[in-house]
Amino acid sequence: MRYLTAGESHGPQLTAIIEGVPAFLPITTAEINNDLERRQKGYGRGRRMQIEKDQVQFVAGVRDGHTTGAPIALVVENKDWTHWQHIMTADHIDEENQGKRTVSRPRPGHADLNGAIKYKHRDMRNILERSSARETAIRVACGSLAKKLLSEFNIEVACHVRRIGPVEAAVPDLNELSIADIKRITEDSPVRCLDAEAAEKMMRAIDQAKEEGDSIGGVVEVIVTGVPIGLGSHVQWDRKLDGKIAQAIMSIQAFKGVEVGIGFEAAERPGSEVHDEIAWSEERGYYRKTNRLGGFEGGMTNGMPIVVRGVMKPIPTLYKPLQSVDIDTKEPFEASIERSDSCAVPAASVVAEAVVAWEVANAFCEKFGSDHIGEMKSLLQSYVEEAKQF
């Protein structure tokens, strides 16, 4: 499967074309809209989210509640477009609006300056409109479809927030919590955190950042359960699934790092406290008593839950000005803004969930075919039986 997105933050809509989704996957707009709504929520979001109410439209590839196997086209409209249509128009901007809302002052931490130099745009709006995290709305729609595909094979995906600024949540015991528990608890938490005490402190930290005109980042974690052994491959560098997931996480706006399993902690521990011993039982087949490697060995899934974390930097659009240089005058100035999220980490956890789901679903289709859901189910069943007795 593959997908591409198009769309500007204040353009008429976000669009995605998805290719390679198997036929006969049951899907409804309501299921996708539920994920779009999850992404819009979260303590620390700014005023733009009061304008938008993201809803998906399928404009190709889905009929009568099922995928047909044809390319799928998805659209999410930007409600803010009504305020921007004369500025963001595809046709010539009329005289009255010429020169309005142009950007000559690059914001530190954004794509503005690098993109402007690269594409030779004197008006940096042409860069910021596309680099904006608004694009994550349509990626969540694509990921939602991937989650639906995985759920047909009892593979479930969830996310939660591990850290916001200085506040770290207690490490959850994933042996004690089911995916359903994680979903239920995070859905009720304004910061999508499993640790209620930490969640309160996270909200206070967001309040404080906001009061100070600052922004705050954090760490999100994605968990995938029910994964069969052998998704991805060791045979070639670009077929390693953990590598693909790392790239997908790093592709989310404002993400600066990725960890799988214990991640960077592996550097501090001896090998005997890193690797997961192998066991076998009639009921489970091969399994591990621990999951320090986060479900991956040799770029392939090992049947344990996938556990991956990503770090989001604080949003660089700050009320507290940072120094920059005007590209027209070359004079220094202090960047100031009209509106921003002070923290988008809870929303970003939903985006991380979506992009990880996409990569796992894609690897699943590579292993079990991607023409027809029923055919894939038969293949999975015989493979799992064989793997148990292997």
Output the known binding site for FMN. Answer: 130-132, 253-254, 298, 313-317, 339
Report if residue 134 touches ligand EPS, rule: CB under 6 A: yes
Based on the shown chain and the rule CB under 6 A, indicate whether residue 9 belongs to the binding site for ligand EPS.
Answer: yes
CA diameter of the chain: 76
SS3 content of the chain, % helix, strand, coil (to 5): 35, 20, 45
Q: Which is nearer to ligand EPS, 37 or 207 (CB)?
A: 37
How far are the Cα atoms of 136, 195, 200, 286 from residue 390, in angstroms, in the given order?
Answer: 41, 40, 48, 9
Q: Report yes or no: 148 and 27 within 8 Å, Cβ to Cβ.
A: yes
Residue 139 binds to ligand EPS (criterion: CB under 6 A): no
Distances (CA, A) of 204 to 44, 45, 109, 168, 169: 10, 14, 25, 13, 14
Nearest Cα to Cα of residue 355 among 261, 264, 255, 262:
255
218 binds ligand EPS (CB under 6 A): no
Over the window 336 to 375, marking each residue x when it contacts ligand EPS by CB under 6 A and - when it does not, the resulting string is ---x-x----------------------------------
Residue number with CB closer to ligand EPS (132 or 189):
132
Length of the chain: 390
Is residue 221 at the binding interface for ligand EPS, with CB under 6 A as the rule?
no
Give the shortest CB-341-to-ligand EPS separation in angstroms. 6
Pick from 375, 348, 376, 374: which is nearest to 364 by CA?
376
Residues in Cβ contact with 236 at an 8 Å cutoff, skipping those fewer than 6 apart:
none
DSSP code of residue 260:
E
What CA–CA distance (Å, rounded) separates 65 from 229?
31
Residue pair 127/115 in contact (Cβ under 8 Å)? The answer is: yes
Distance CA 290, CA 274 (A): 9
Q: Which residue has the tokens 């590839």?
A: 61
* 2 contributes a contact to ligand EPS by CB under 6 A: no
Residue 350 C-beta: closest distance to ligand EPS, Å: 10
Q: Report 71-90 residues binding ligand EPS (CB under 6 A).
A: 80
Considering the complex, what minimum distance in angstroms separates the CB of residue 144 from ligand EPS? 15
Among residue numbers 155 through 194, which ones bind ligand EPS (CB under 6 A)? none
Binding mask 239-278 toward ligand EPS (x if CB under 6 A, else -) reads --------------x-------------------------
Indicate which single residue of 42, 46, 61, 165 sits in contact with ligand EPS (rule: CB under 6 A): 46
Q: Which is nearer to ligand EPS, 35 or 341 (CB)?
A: 341
Q: Which C-beta is closer to ligand EPS: that of 301 or that of 317? A: 317
90: Cβ contacts below 8 Å, ≥ 6 apart? none
* Rg of the Cα atoms in the chain: 22
Residue span binding ligand EPS (CB under 6 A) among the ranges 131-139, 174-182, 220-228, 371-379: 131-139
Write out the DSSP string of 18-44.
Answer: EE-PPBT-B--HHHHHHHHHHHH--TT
Question: Nearer to ligand EPS by C-beta: 48 or 163?
Answer: 48
**Window of 44-52, 67-75, 290-298, 319-327 that interacts with ligand EPS by CB under 6 A:** 44-52
Binding-site residue ranges: 39, 45, 130-132, 253-254, 298, 313-317, 339
Where in 311-340 is the site for ligand EPS (CB under 6 A)?
317, 339
Question: Beta-carbon neighbour count of residue 329 at 10 Å?
Answer: 10
> Would you count residue 147 as binding ligand EPS (CB under 6 A)?
no
Q: Which stretch, 116-124, 130-138, 231-239, 372-380, contacts ligand EPS (CB under 6 A)? A: 130-138
By the criterion CB under 6 A, which residues form the site for ligand EPS?
A: 9, 46, 48, 52, 80, 132-134, 136-137, 253, 317, 339, 341
